[in-house]
Amino acid sequence: MTQPWVSVTAPATVPYRYGLFSAAAVLDPTDGREFMAGVQWEPVCADAPAPATLAQACVQDRPPMLLPSGVDLAQAGPPMRLYTGFTCALPGREDLLERARQQLGLIEQQSVEHYAWTGEAGNRPRLADPDTEILGGSAAAPVSAAAGLGLLEAFISDRTGAIGVVWAPRTAAAHLVGAQLTRVEGPRMVAPLGNPMVFAHTSGAGPDGQLPAASDAWLYATGPVVVRRGPVSLPTLPQALSTATNEVFAVAQRPYLVGWGCAQAAVKVRLPDTAA
């Protein structure tokens, strides 16, 4: 007689590391209006170096101070709503909806990274945007990874005066870590000057929407990043049950807004230890 399969507890899972949620401020607001059209805020930005004027008060013909008009405005939206789950022909199981919630928790970070990078969910801002500033003339020829990270971190300090975020495709992580261009600080992986790295699960497209050569990668810099998440939406078990097929449609959904302020830039780099 064949021994039947024995059901045991699934192996424990370890959360996805060095992604967007490690570098961003992740907020779970209770105001549902945020997820109707989006949000906007007024970030405090910089443009270094600050202009200077003559110290002597009595100097004649002192040049006038030139100040920008108004304040900076940042926006995030429209919201994207992620969903995941499964169908199951075992309506008697009581854990189906909880399993859908667990699936969403495992896939949300990677998914939000991808859509924030590409804008495929219609969300704005997005990294791969034709208006993104390209540094170092790298659209024509990639710069070294070390030079590219230097350009991005200089851009962040110049435009924000604060700690921002450096974004890289997840496939570039081993190259940058192997070249000792990053280090671990607590739960974060950071660039040389301490800006947290997001190793994103994404295609790695550049501002023109095109993928780089296999030996290259597009890296991005932004100001501080905020992820806003709404509550997880689950149907009740009677709502999820199809009386026509006796199947349960277990679906978990959650809305998200991702945004950053001040500016964003990109640089194409030649990955260390790759063939030319």
Distance CA 101, CA 96 (A): 9
Confidence of residue 138 (pLDDT cuts 50, 70, 90): very high
Mean pLDDT of 79-83: 97
Choice among 64-73, 85-94, 208-217 with the minimum mean pLDDT: 85-94
Residue 232 clears pLDDT 60, i.e. is over it: yes
The confidence score (pLDDT) of residue 121 equals 96
Confidence of residue 130 (pLDDT cuts 50, 70, 90): very high
Distance CA 51, CA 65 (A): 8
Residue 269 clears pLDDT 80, i.e. is over it: yes
Percent of the chain with pLDDT strictly greater than 70: 96
Distance CA 110, CA 206 (A): 18
pLDDT in tens, 23-33: 999 999 999 99
The pTM of this model reads: 0.91
Report long-range pairs for 237-242 (Cβ below 8 Å, ≥24 apart): 237/91, 237/94, 237/96, 237/97, 240/96, 240/97, 241/91
Confidence of residue 91 (pLDDT cuts 50, 70, 90): low
pLDDT in tens, 233-245: 999 888 888 888 8
Question: Is it true that the peptide bond before 4 is cis, omega within 30 degrees of 0?
Answer: no
Other beta carbons less than 10 A from residue 69's beta carbon? 4
CA-wise closest residue to 229 among 252, 196, 250, 261: 252
CB 59 within 8 A of CB 262: no
Mean pLDDT of 108-137: 97
In sequence order, the β-bridge partners of residue 225 are: 260
Distance CA 103, CA 83 (A): 9
